[in-house]
């Protein structure tokens, strides 16, 4: 790989995040009142994320060639693609979640600081070229997320959720670390390219290598929230403050996904057979469990959690093809899911600013008659729900096609049929929410507090889902090209 650019430029996004995290820490502890702390931290965190976006532009001088620095850090098309997506998801989190904290819910000074450290960990994970660097980024991200879940110290559900997340997350991290340790003992290397080649050569006849691979994939499936390692997701979503749920919802899954893709690519296709078998199991269990459990939910956070599990099943459906088309389809699906999840969850944050207590409820009945009080937010929620259900002409329809077609071509037609059947099942609980929004009157509720900035961003979010539904080929081709330039499959 070329090393034509200075190493400082390669590390610039991470350096900016680290520097601004220190600035946020210093500023937030100097304010004498929560309101002062909130205003300062919000502005600094937003500008920090914008600076990172600018820094990412500087690092994309020639992403097709790629640059590698010492210390297990790499900047290639895959890293550029996922870092940009992670930063975009974090920016949306800051914009949507910032106004959640107000006089009735004083902001914790460490809120934006934890988001920045989580972002730093995720960006390190996206650029990790060895297992040590990936694990350091993973732990930085995980510890920040545990604290974000427990941020509302007055809420016992948040404390309980954080403890469950911490304990189960520690188990998953232990599995991942044990798998990395086994690989190091078997190969004597931490570098992913060497590990991928060694695993592809010895996987068929070395039980220890198979065990290491399964431990690593299991740990990553936990971070993604895929069955059978999904048990933490409903309780964590339910107990988290809404802004924390936004952080956990998508960006950490992107960071775990990029490591899976990088490991598969570095193996030159040697891991495809075993990984396809694991992906089939993960897809089948996630789609069935996620959709059936979501049918019984009336709490919107828990419904979103089980919905997330089912969507991870569709991503593993793309993984089951174990080729560039399948991986590109899974990446495309993840990006479209990011938009849908952020639009719906961001709308919930907006609704939490209502003056009446009932609208602040997480119960599905709180959405009754929403279209009368705020037609724009009702429309954004409807578009996001249609997209997550896979209804045309939204982007979610083509996202499902992007993972179903490679799986069918790989010979998993029976799995595609199961996925289609449970997609119909899943459409029921999405349409049920829309029924509450448009066809249930409920009681008269106080008008929503206006937040023009959030309304604009939510409107653009919903519009982007529709635009990508009309022109899905642009994003899919971009994902395919970026992966093909980085792939040996």
Name the nearest CA neighbour of 400 among 310, 306, 276, 277.
310
Band (270; pLDDT cuts 50, 70, 90)? low
Taking residues 197-201, report their average pLDDT. Answer: 82
Of 356, 352, 351, 355, nearest in space to 437 by CA: 351
Q: How far is residue 234's CA from residue 205's CA, in Å, rounded to a whole number? A: 39
- Of the pLDDT bands very low, low, confident and very high (cuts 50, 70, 90), residue 84 is confident
* d(C-alpha 190, C-alpha 173), whole Å: 17
pTM assigned to the model: 0.90
User: Crossing angle for the helix pair 452-470 and 77-97, nearest 10 degrees?
Assistant: 140
Question: pLDDT tens digit string along 24-49?
Answer: 777 666 655 554 455 555 566 566 56
| Averaged confidence pLDDT in the chain | 82
pLDDT beyond 70 at 234: yes
Query: Can you give the pLDDT at residue 165?
Result: 93
DSSP class of residue 68?
E
Residues facing 75 on adjacent strands: 67
* pLDDT range class, residue 103, cuts 50, 70, 90: very low
């Amino acid at each position: 790989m070329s090393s034509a650019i200075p190493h400082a430029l390669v590390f610039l996004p991470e350096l900016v995040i680290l520097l601004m995290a220190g600035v946020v820490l210093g500023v937030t502890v100097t304010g004498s009142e929560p309101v002062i702390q909130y205003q300062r931290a919000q502005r600094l965190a937003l500008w920090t994320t914008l600076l990172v976006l600018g820094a990412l532009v500087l690092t994309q001088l020639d992403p097709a060639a790629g640059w590698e620095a010492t210390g297990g850090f790499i900047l290639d098309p895959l890293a550029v693609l996922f870092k940009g997506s992670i930063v975009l998801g974090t920016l949306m989190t800051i914009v949507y979640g910032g106004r959640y904290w107000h006089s009735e819910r004083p902001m914790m000074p460490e809120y934006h600081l934890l988001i920045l450290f989580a972002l730093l960990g995720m960006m390190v994970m996206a650029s990790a070229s060895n297992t040590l660097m990936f694990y350091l980024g993973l732990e930085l991200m995980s510890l920040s997320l545990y604290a974000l879940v427990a941020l509302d110290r007055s809420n016992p559900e948040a404390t309980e959720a954080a403890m469950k997340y911490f304990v189960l997350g520690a188990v998953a991290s232990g599995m991942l670390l044990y798998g990395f340790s086994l690989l190091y003992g078997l190969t004597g290397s931490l570098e992913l390219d060497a590990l991928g080649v060694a695993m592809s050569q010895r996987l068929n006849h070395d039980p220890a290598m198979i065990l290491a691979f399964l431990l690593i994939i299991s740990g990553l499936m936990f971070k993604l929230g895929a069955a059978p390692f999904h048990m933490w997701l409903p309780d964590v979503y339910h107990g988290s403050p809404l802004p924390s749920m936004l952080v956990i919802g998508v960006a950490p899954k992107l960071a775990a996904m990029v490591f899976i893709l990088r490991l598969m690519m570095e193996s030159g296709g040697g891991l495809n057979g075993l990984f396809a078998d694991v992906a089939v199991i993960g897809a089948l269990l996630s789609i069935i469990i996620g959709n059936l459990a979501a049918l019984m939910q009336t709490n919107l956070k828990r419904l979103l959690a089980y919905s997330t599990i089912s969507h991870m099943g569709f991503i593993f459906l793309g993984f089951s093809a174990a080729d560039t088309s399948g991986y590109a389809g899974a990446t495309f699906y993840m990006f479209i899911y990011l938009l849908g999840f952020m639009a719906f969850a961001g709308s919930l944050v907006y609704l939490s600013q209502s003056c009446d207590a009932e609208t602040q409820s997480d119960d599905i009945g709180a959405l009754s008659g929403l279209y009368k009080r705020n037609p724009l937010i009702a429309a954004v929620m409807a578009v996001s729900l249609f997209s997550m259900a896979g209804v045309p002409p939204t982007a979610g329809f083509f996202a499902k096609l992007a993972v179903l077609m490679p799986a069918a071509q790989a010979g998993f037609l029976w799995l595609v049929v199961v996925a289609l059947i449970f997609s119909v099942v899943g459409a029921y609980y999405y349409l049920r929410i829309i029924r509450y929004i448009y066809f249930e009157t409920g009681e008269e509720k106080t008008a929503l507090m206006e937040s023009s900035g959030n309304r604009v961003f939510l409107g653009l979010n919903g519009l982007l889902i529709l635009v990508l539904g009309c022109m899905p080929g642009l994003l899919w081709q971009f994902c395919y090209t970026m992966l093909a330039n980085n792939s040996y499959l």
